[in-house]
Structure formats: C-alpha cells, structure tokens
Chain A
Amino acid sequence: MEITRSKVDRKPEDFRSRQLRAQQMLRGDLDGTDLEEYVEERLLLTKFEDAQNWARKNAIWPLGFGLACCAIEMITVIGSPRNDLSRFGAEVIRFSPRQADMLILSGRVSIKMAPVIRRIYDQMLEPKWVISMGACASSAGMFNNYALVAGADKFLPVDVYVPGCPPRPEALMYGIMKLQDKITSEPNEGWRERYKSAGTEEASDSSASSYGRPEADSQPQAAGQDAPRRTPDDA
C-alpha cells in the first residue's frame, strides 16, 4: 500500500496566518468547520498494519553474516557510503541473530554449514526475511558438486533471490527494495504463514508453539490456538 501525503489546505496561506490560527486553536477559539479543517490538515490516516509494515520496511537490520566471496560484496553494499544503503533503512548491521531482521546468504552453502545457518535462522525473531545472494546460494552455481547444498531454499525459506556472480551492488540493493515491496504488500509477518507451512514446527510440543502474532480478523484462513493446525497436505 502506498502512503501518500497531499496538501489539504486549498487557500494559499502565509506562515504568519497559519501561526495565528495555531494560536487560536491553542486558546480554544477555533470551532466548527475551522477546527475540522485545522485537524484534517495535521493528520495522516492509515491502517495500523500499514503503518507497522511501513516502519518495518524502512528498518530492515541485516545480520552480519558472510559465507564466501559474495560476503565481500555484501559488506560493501551494506557498509560503504558509496552505495549508501541507509537510504533504504537497511544499513544497521547486527551481529546477533536476536536483533537482526534479514539474513543475507552471501556465498556458497556447504553441507557442513547448512545446519549452522539453519540454527542462526531459527534464532532470529519474527518477522524475518532471507535474501539468497548470488548464484551459489541460490543454486550452488559453479560449485555444483558433493560438498555444497544446491540451493539454500532446501532448508530455509528464501524471500528474494539475487542472481549474479557476485551480483552488482545495484542488484543487491534492488533485491532489498524488492523485499521492501514484499514487506509492505504482505500482511503476514511469520514465514510459516507466508509460505502456508503451519504445522511444520520442530518443537516437541507443537500445540504450545505459536509463530507470529495472534491472527487478525483479516486472515480468517489462518488457524488459531484451539483450531487444529493446518498441515501442508491440507493446503
């Protein structure tokens, strides 16, 4: 959803007259249509979810986590003033998965590294997103052999794939902006909801674990605490 701001005030007013009206308002002299106009001018109306998603979109904190040569490129994209990712609010690298929102898989994913990545991903708090950066993380690339996992999406949900070997900084930034579009257009915050995979929790007590927030009225298809959990077979 697009948040737009348009000027309500139709009369061209100079600064002084607006100041005088503010004084009147504070004194309580404004009433009726004048008061309504005054309030309308200063309000921005939106839905709570939209405002929340807008805030999330503009504060994606990536995890400081590199796998291989793409990591060098990822660091220059996120950390360097040349590319200036802070324009899009995704430059605050967090080195604890508890504080990070986005995992950038930058490089080869070896079979030995896969459980480590999965554990880091599980330690991140919802909402969380994953960008698969480069050919290796997306499909093992040129290292298509016994040592690598061909595609990181075999063991964790990936939101955006960025092709390239390594991708240009512009490409990774475009991927992050695509992710921002996804965040604003996708109301579900938990990846299990996004990918319709409720019921695949690894916890031993599946009824006690709840990923994401309690369901809002706008998502009647998602199961509550009492209803039987949906499995991927039901979908």
Chain B
Amino acid sequence: MPDATGLELVAQRVRDAVHEEAVVGTSFAYDSATLVVAPERTRDVLEHLSRSDEEPYEHLMSLHGCDYLPEEPRLGVHYQLMSMGRRERIAVKTRLTTEDPRLPTVTDLFPTADFQEREVYDFFGVVFEGHPDPRRILMPEDYEGYPQRRDFPMGGEPVLFTHNEHKLPRWYD
C-alpha cells in the first residue's frame, strides 16, 4: 500500500507519462490510496499503472459504479488495482455526469472487466466505448432505466405495517 507520499509520487509519474491533467486529485484515507482521474484519460492511466509504471499494479480486482446523488458530477466508476508481487493496492476513481456518461473500455487490458463493465452499464447507465458486448447483464434486456441510480424509484409494492397504516387509505379494498 503506498502511503500518502508514495501516492503523490505515483500521481506525478502518471502525470508525466500520460498527460498533465490526467490526475484530477488524490486522496489518502483509512490507509487507502486513491487517484481521481479525468474520465477521458481513465484507460491511459490504467494502462500506464498496470503495464509501464516502474511499480506496476497489474491486477484489476474490482470495477464498480457508484452514485453520489447530491454531489456533481453524480456518477463514479471505481477501479481497484492490486500488485500481486508487492501486495499493494491502489484505487482509481473517475467521476461522470448523468448526461451521456461515457468511458473508454478496459476489457483489452483486463479481461475481467468485461462482465463488470456490463454490470456498471446495467445498473448506472455508464456506456463503455469499445466494449465487445455492451448488453445488460443482470436485468432483463428490455428493462428501462438504471435501477441502482439513487433517483430511481425503489419499486415494489407498499407493505402494510402498523406505522404506515394511516398512509395507505382503504388498503383493505
């Protein structure tokens, strides 16, 4: 695990190798190092971190979406990288708006990203450009909407309890 100083060194190496504005910010909290990167540079940053960095993180452990509803930009996509040899982890985060969220795919770098990108598309509506099979993976294919977004209605049916009985008038009909 890189410490806060090591994280800044990683960030500077990424800036030098990829682009000056590839890294938007860094955060080090709870012993976890996180690089916040610009969405259009995500793939380049991951390629550099996993292949050509002097301390590479070659393994993608997880790729998942997130919705930070009150904040803008709302959507987030997180990549958890790990170096098996050094037993070190680093997180790469990127933020997207809900209007036309697009990211470059990383399936060519990490084959495991295939299903996980489909899941993020399924639940958050993030389109991964260049994905070989960009379909929904868990919800039915004709499903409308992205159910894990926080403004998506909960669904289901109201259940009668004593505490909400007065809110469901004439439930017995």
Contact = CB atoms under 8 A, between A and B. Distances in A.
Contacts of B140: 111-112
Contacts of A140: 156-157
Contacts of A146: 147, 152-156
B159 interface: yes
A112 B136 CA distance: 12
Contact of A150 (B143, B152, B153, B156): B156
A140 B157 CA distance: 9
A147 B147 contact: yes
A149 to B, nearest CB: 10
B154 to A, nearest CB: 6
A152 to B, nearest CB: 13
Interface residues of B, number: 12
B139 interface: yes
Interface in A105-157: 111-112, 139-140, 143-148, 150
Q: At the interface, is chain B mostly helix, strand, loop or mixed? A: loop
B154 A145 contact: yes
A162 to B, nearest CB: 19
Chain A interface size band reads: 10 to 19
Contact of B157 (A111, A112, A147, A150): A150
A148 B156 contact: yes
Nearest to B156: A144
A111 B140 CA distance: 7
Contacts of B153: 146
A144 B139 contact: no
A25 B159 CA distance: 70
24 contacts: A111-B139, A111-B140, A111-B143, A112-B138, A112-B139, A112-B140, A139-B157, A140-B156, A140-B157, A143-B156, A144-B154, A144-B155, A144-B157, A144-B159, A145-B154, A145-B156, A146-B147, A146-B152, A146-B153, A146-B155, A146-B156, A147-B139, A147-B155, A148-B156
Interface of A: 111-112, 139-140, 143-148, 150
Top 7 closest pairs, chain A to chain B, by CB: A146-B155, A144-B156, A146-B147, A150-B157, A112-B140, A145-B156, A145-B155
